[in-house]
Structure 1
Amino acid sequence: MSVWALGLNHTTAPLDLRGRFAFALDQIAPTLHSLRSSFAGNSSHPQVEAAIISTCNRTEIYCASEHIALDHTFGWLAQSGGVAPALLRSHAYTLHDDEAARHAFRVASGLDSMVLGEAQILGQMKDAVRAAETAGALGSTLNQLFQRSFAVAKEVRTATEIGAHSISMAAAAVRLAGQLFEDLRKTRVLFVGAGEMIDLAATHFAAKEPKAIAIANRTLERGEKLASRFGGEAMRLADLPARLAEFDIVISCTASTLPIIGLGAVERALKARKHRPMFMVDLAVPRDIEPEVKALEDIYLYTVDDLAQVVQQGQANRQAAVAQAEVIIDAGVQSFMHWLGQRGTVPLIQQLNAQADEWRATEMARARKLLAKGESIDAVLEAMSRGLTQKMMHGAMAELHAGDAASREQTAQTLSRLFLRKER
């Protein structure tokens, strides 16, 4: 039995191309039926197991059959998306057997995601597997592959910190603020500036649902546009000193060549706040906040360099977690491939069991006839055991006397391993 996969994702294909191969969950069943029907006319692939994982970041097809059929799968997918096979090949990846298993395990564990360690993909994979099972397209091989993927993902998330470390400046700022304030929902947050970095920071803080959000910007219109996205208010930069005391958290990042938040303004704000602590982050280069502010007792000021250290620590922890996750995945791949290898002997085992049952039934029938004729039990048992032994040894003895000297020697060694274990 072989397993293969082909797909395209956010690292290999542009958004417009990925869109051509996006399948909604309710489209999975008919799409799988189409894929499997395309194999029906091929005698080498009469029954192909199949599953499709389709998200905004990836579309992947997993198949299992006696023989790998990547070219056929490529052709079907290209046709379904209405693109030339050559174009699809230039943006897709193909994997088989242990590589396919490793990829599935990494995807389930969040190691192949746009946001490293995210957990959403695991739920999406489970939905895809249920859809394939409902469509009757999921056989024992792919079922094992995905169930083992889920088990590996669970172990990765339990045994490592793959999803625990934020890696962006904005996320690091949120984490540090959360260490100072017990509940960020009770805080008022001021963002100074309206550029990309402030946009990102506001997005992260807004997810914590603070009590109030305000945007102070030199251009009021631009500040209002950003503030409206987060249900906040906009104010002119000139009004900042008078209103600074209202805010528990201040995040600043402007293009100013000189500090716009001075020591005096912060001292007055602290006095008005009766020295309740303020958390301040200066993401600007050069500085937006005078460095002397950091010396104030109730001020917790972090610069872009300070946050960089937090981010680097998170990256180091994340890489350590990735290394741990890869070890878990390696073990999972080896276990799956061992199981897959054993599947190849199942037909032979079934045939051997059937043959043994046939011999047993034959000898039992003979024994009953002898007993009915009045033969002694000892004689019947002797005849039955001799008959079974002869049937079991006949093929081995025939092979031992057939062929040339080299083949007879090889047969002798095999028979010794099978029948003379006590003498080894």
Structure 2
Amino acid sequence: MQILTLGINHHTAPLSVREQVAFAPEMIQPALHHLKDHLANVSETKLPEATILSTCNRTELYCAANDAHSTHEQSVLKNTAIEWLAQSRGIRSDELLPHVYVLPQSQAVRHAFRVACGLDSMVVGETQILGQLKDAVRTADEAGSLGTYLNQLFQKTFQVAKEVRGNTEIGAHSISMAAAAVRLSERIFESVSDQKVLFIGAGEMITLCATHFAARKPKLVAVANRTLERGQELADELAEQGLQTESLRLSDLPTRLHDFDIIVSCTASTLPIIGLGMVENAIKTRKHRPMVMVDLAVPRDIEVEVSRLNDVYLYTVDDLGEIVQTGADSRKAAVGQAEAIIETRVSHFMHWLEGRGTVPLIQDLRQRGDDLRAFEVERAKKLLAKGEDPQAVLDALAQGLTNKFLHGSLHALQHAQGEEREALMKILPGLFRAHHSDK
């Protein structure tokens, strides 16, 4: 079985590329079915297992494929998967290829472990990625594309993440994206407590951001969401902290955007929610008082042209990178400890994976042994039924089993020559060494 990971992330691709290949949550299950069908139709490679991880910083395919052991087969699997990713997201392969990394076997295992531990994140040590990875695995399981190999890989991945969290201080000095959004706002406004803040969306990231901004006690907090009920629910949670809150519909944004000084957006929309014209109108109504806009969505919620407006300070997930790197020196020791744990666990997993390769042979040997035993036992029963001496029948049974058990090895040894014969002479004594543990 060949395990393969390929994808792009914030290390290899700019936001403009990442947003083109991102998958909305509801798209992933159909995409998994299409990926498996595509590989089956284009090549002879069978792909019984696949998982798609898509976040603001990465889109990755985790695959486990049969019949992909040779260099040629692995190349076919890699090229076909890249072609599928490009086609499914409406981007040319040659545009995507410079940003793609392909990681086979132990490299793929190591990468999964590092991702889950937050070592491959923009915010080193962050924990949100672990939840996102668990969601991706759950979706793959529901789609029927999570089999023995990927299931084992991800279960080990989650165990490694827990071990790293429990035995290192990898997250002790991390600054979250949510905290960075607050810091960016405070660069423009002296005090967040004097500002009105609008959150667009009501998912996990927006909830985290709202919690950080709430600690600054802004003048007003509003939540605009596709479903008014979920937006109201988050607004009510913030109101319990003594804040003045309200909830809006997304359709209210054109007439209400000018009311807010800080806008933080993170939705799963495939198209921008806030366009250039909407922001231009808001700025005119505000008489050019500045606005801070933080777009944490991939694909982006706010049109990129908005960044050209003089009175708007627009930040994306990539713009937050410099801030979240604060404390990197303090994390170096913890990162080293985490990497050491990961290397040990990679070795353990690869040992398990290599052992799985012997399972068909073990099953075949057991079946052959059962067939030999059944044959000799049946012959012994017939002899007993004829009235033969039981002791003689038992001796014959034992002798028959012994002869059949040794036949293959003795025949191979007698006909082997040179290095093959020497190798057999070293191996066979160990295979037939008597065990005395029960004596």
TM-score of Structure 1 vs Structure 2, range by shorter chain? 0.5 to 0.7
3-state SS in 2 of match to 1:361: helix
1:340 aligns to what?
353
2-structure distance, mates of 1:315, 1:99:
24
Which residue, out of 116, 119, 122, partners 1:111? 119
User: How far apart in 2 are the matches of 1:151 and 1:382?
Assistant: 53
Distance across 1 between alignment mates of 2:326 and 2:29: 45
- 8 A Cα contact 2:117 2:164, kept in partner: yes
- Partner-residue secondary structure (3-state), 2:46: coil
Quote the residue 1:217 is aligned against. Answer: none
Residues 46-55 or 29-38, more deviating? 46-55
For the 8 Å contact 2:21–2:59, the answer to whether it is kept is yes
User: Among 151, 155, 158, which residue is 1:147 paired with?
Assistant: 155
Q: Paired residue for 1:16?
A: 16
- What is the aligned partner in structure 2 of residue 34 from structure 1? 34
Q: Does 1:162 align with 2:170?
A: yes
Unaligned runs of 5+ in 1: 175-190, 215-224, 231-310
- How far apart, CA to CA, are the structure 1 residues paired with 2:186 and 2:132? 35
Tell me the amino acid that sits aligned with residue 13 of structure 1.
A
1:28-84 deviations in whole A, cap 9, x for unaligned? 111011110012236742343111001111100010123132111111112112222
In the alignment, is residue 353 of structure 1 matched against residue 366 of structure 2? yes
In 2, are the aligned partners of 1:161 and 1:318 still within 8 Å (CA)? yes
Task: Work out which of the residue numbers 333, 337, 341 in structure 2 matches 1:324.
Answer: 337
Q: What is the CA distance between 1:118 and its match in structure 2?
A: 1.2
Match of 1:209 in 2: 215
CA offset digits 1:303-342 (Å, max 9, x no partner): xxxxxxxx99944431111111111111111111111110
* 2:83 maps to which of 69, 75, 81: 75
1:248-278: per-residue Cα shift (whole Å, max 9, x none)? Answer: xxxxxxxxxxxxxxxxxxxxxxxxxxxxxxx
Q: Is the 8 A contact 1:5 1:100 kept in 2?
A: yes
Whichever residue aligns with residue 213 of structure 2, its letter is A
Aligned mates of 2:152, 2:39 — CA distance in 1: 22
The answer (yes or no) to whether the contact 2:383–2:393 under 8 Å persists in 1 is yes
Contact kept in structure 1, 2:376 and 2:401, CA below 8 Å: yes
Amino acid paired to 1:368: K
Question: 1:315–1:200: structure 2 CA closer, same or farther, 3 Å change rule?
Answer: farther
RMSD: 3.3
Q: TM-score, normalised by structure 2?
A: 0.65
Provide the rounded CA distance (Å) in 1 between the counterparts of 2:394 and 2:189.
89
Letter in 2 for 1:209: A
> Are the equivalent residues in 1 in contact too, given 2:106–2:346 (CA < 8 A)?
yes
User: 1:221 is matched with which residue?
Assistant: none
**Hey, what does 1:7 align to over in structure 2?**
7
Matches of 1:212 and 1:49, distance apart in 2: 48
TM-score of the pair, normalised by structure 1: 0.67
Residue 421 of structure 1: how far off its partner (Å): 6.2
Task: Tell me by how many angstroms 1:15 deviates.
Answer: 1.8
Provide the C-alpha distance between the structure 2 equivalents of 1:344 and 1:60, rounded to a whole number of angstroms: 26
Question: Which range is displaced more, 402-411 or 33-42?
Answer: 402-411
Choose 1 or 2 for highest CA Rg.
1
CA deviation profile, 1:180-211 (whole Å, cap 9, x unmatched): xxxxxxxxxxx9x9744858999999535245
Q: Deviations over 1:210-267 (max 9, x none)?
A: 45679xxxxxxxxxx998439xxxxxxxxxxxxxxxxxxxxxxxxxxxxxxxxxxxxx
**Residue aligning to 2:45:** 45
Structure-2 residue corresponding to 1:247: none
Letter aligned with residue 32 of structure 1: L
Q: Structure 1 residues 209 and 144, CA, compared in 2 at 3 Å: closer, same or farther?
A: same
In structure 2, stretches of 5+ residues that fail to align are 69-73, 198-208, 221-257, 264-323
Alignment correspondent of 2:55 = 55
Which of 91, 104, 108 is the matching residue for 1:96?
104
TM alignment of 1:174-253, pairs within 5 A: 195-196=187-188, 207=213, 209-211=215-217, 228-229=261-262
Q: Is the alpha carbon distance of 1:411 and 1:211 closer, same or farther for their aligned partners in structure 2, counting shifts above 3 Å?
A: closer
Measure the CA separation in 2 of the matches of 1:120 and 1:100: 20
- Relative to structure 1, is the Cα distance of residues 93 and 314 closer, same or farther in structure 2, using a 3 angstrom cutoff? same
More moved, 40-49 vs 373-382: 40-49
